[in-house]
Structure 1
Amino acid sequence: MQTNIDLQGLRVAVTGGTSGLGLALVRQLAEQGASVAFVARTTADVERIADETGAHGIVGDVGKKEDIYPIALQVTASLGGLDVLINNASSLGPVPLALLADTECEELEKALAVNLVGAFRLTKALFGALAVSAREGRGALVINISSDAAVNAYPGWGAYGASKAALAHLTAIWDEEAKADGIRLLALDPGDMDTPLHALALPDADPSTLKRPEVAAAEIIEKMLDALPVSTAALAGTRG
């Protein structure tokens, strides 16, 4: 795993940036010199993490259609463009987890609104900015955070798993379609992590058996750099 990475000049947006994996990504990206904008719903949490990291905090809910364009405008205004978008914000749907027969339609809709449609809408809203970055030779990348629940049929995880499976396939199709624009799209499964979302889903899980979000964030950043053009990685001082 790479250490002492210098990401000076790289412009990254992260959704769900005030807890769990999203927070770990914001912290590490900012520490490594990237220009970071992050999105979350709670004003107090956004302000606290912005003060702590120096990243640009944006209050918004990617699950709400009316929030998407204000979020996109604030991302590009605060960063002066965009090189990498990490769609990390997630919803479990029903809490506590429920079998599909016991899942309300509105709970399924909530999981889809955040995990699938929200990621789609924000990527679409920022697609032009990413295409400009690609044309400038900076590289352009969208990372959609997936889950093993997207491929494994875990009872009780129906809403979440279905939304993540749809996100993974959407990512694969869009990656093919966006090649002409120079934009890459990846769906990455960070593994089972010790996060508030996981604790909400499985409150009795032993945290010692779970990956720390800081470790998962470092792995995602490494994969991010592998997916960016050599010129961008050289700009960030990571390739020898």
Structure 2
Amino acid sequence: MTPDLTGRLALVTGASRGIGREIALQMAALGAHVIAVARTPGALEELDDEIKAKGGQATLVPLDLTDLEGIDRLGGVIHERWGKLDILVANAGILGPISPIGHVKAKDFEQVMSINVTATWRLIRTTDPLLRKADGGRAIMMSSGAAHGGKPFWGVYAASKAAVEALARAWAAETRNTALRINSVNPGPTRTRMRAQAMPGEDPAILPAPDEVAAKIVPLAGPDVTQTGMIWDVRSLEWREYRLPE
């Protein structure tokens, strides 16, 4: 069901391209005021133009998520301006090296963990009190099937997404008796730049476009979502419990 997000405030990271951009566009079209976070000001301005052309509203935040103190300040600014946050979409992330674990350079490992894990934790920490003030806060944490598959050469990215899922699961347990619902998402293979980087020989035409995938994620921000601490699998359109592979 397509949710009515009129009057809702949604923070979307990685909003300048791919799935994040489409989520921002679709949430704005449904009435949300979108706080769009990304590194590239030019891409954010293009997003803003498209949102405004369709009658929506956005606030642009050019921010590199390696600026951890900047993430903390973002929560403070949201508190001062709006006093609460209704929706968090923690979408930003990087692939890192596809390589045998023993060949990964320390700086590359640390970069993936900084952006995918540490920045996500800082984002949770700074938005948690804001989401609790909403009458039905929703947090959508972008994960990957790689977190569960044990695929060779994907160890660094897989570890980072498994960590994100662990954070989401613990956060959901801590807030189970509140109105806040927190879930992870496995978007599946999607026609994005990251996918092309990971699978250079793959025909992108066989993959769903980001707007198709985003349309199946946006409903998780709706008031009718009661699940928390679970994974939404976009390909199967099913909720899944957290389980280790057998």
Output the TM-score relative to the length of structure 2.
Answer: 0.83
Residue in 2 aligned with 1:227?
A: 225
**1:68-123 C-alpha deviation (Å, 9 max, x unpaired):** 123223444565521110100011122xx222111112211111111111111011
Query: Is this contact kept in 2: 1:123–1:142, CA < 8 A?
Result: no
Residue in 2 aligned with 1:51?
A: 49
Structure 1 vs Structure 2 CA RMSD:
1.9
Aligned CA distance change for structure 1 residues 78 and 191 (closer, same or farther; 3 Å): farther
Residue in 1 aligned with 2:181?
A: 184
Aligned CA distance change for structure 1 residues 210 and 78 (closer, same or farther; 3 Å): farther
Alignment of 1:214 with 2:217, yes or no, is no
The offset of 1:6, in angstroms, is 3.4
Residue in 1 aligned with 2:73?
A: 70
CA distance in 1, matches of 2:79, 2:108: 32
Which residue type is aligned with residue 62 of structure 1?
L
Q: Secondary structure at the match of 1:161?
A: helix
Residue in 2 aligned with 1:117?
A: 118
Which residue type is aligned with residue 39 of structure 2?
R
Residue in 1 aligned with 2:130?
A: 129
Residue in 1 aligned with 2:236?
A: none
Residue in 1 aligned with 2:18?
A: 20
Query: Is this contact kept in 2: 1:140–1:228, CA < 8 A?
Result: no
Q: Secondary structure at the match of 1:227?
A: coil
Query: Is this contact kept in 2: 1:18–1:49, CA < 8 A?
Result: yes
* Number of equivalences: 221
CA distance in 2, matches of 1:22, 1:75: 20
Q: Secondary structure at the match of 1:179?
A: coil
Aligned CA distance change for structure 1 residues 131 and 176 (closer, same or farther; 3 Å): same
Output the TM-score relative to the length of structure 1.
Answer: 0.85
CA distance in 2, matches of 1:105, 1:227: 40
Which residue type is aligned with residue 46 of structure 1?
L
CA distance in 1, matches of 2:32, 2:226: 14
Aligned CA distance change for structure 1 residues 131 and 98 (closer, same or farther; 3 Å): same
- Bigger fraction of residues in helix: 1
CA distance in 2, matches of 1:107, 1:153: 19
Structure number with greater CO (CA < 8 Å, separation at least 6) is 1
CA distance in 2, matches of 1:190, 1:79: 30
Sequence identity (%): 33
The offset of 1:149, in angstroms, is 0.3
Query: Is this contact kept in 2: 1:144–1:187, CA < 8 A?
Result: yes
CA distance in 2, matches of 1:105, 1:130: 35
Residue in 1 aligned with 2:201?
A: 204
Aligned CA distance change for structure 1 residues 143 and 38 (closer, same or farther; 3 Å): same
Alignment of 1:149 with 2:146, yes or no, is yes
Query: Is this contact kept in 2: 1:37–1:78, CA < 8 A?
Result: no
Q: Secondary structure at the match of 1:187?
A: strand
Query: Is this contact kept in 2: 1:68–1:122, CA < 8 A?
Result: yes
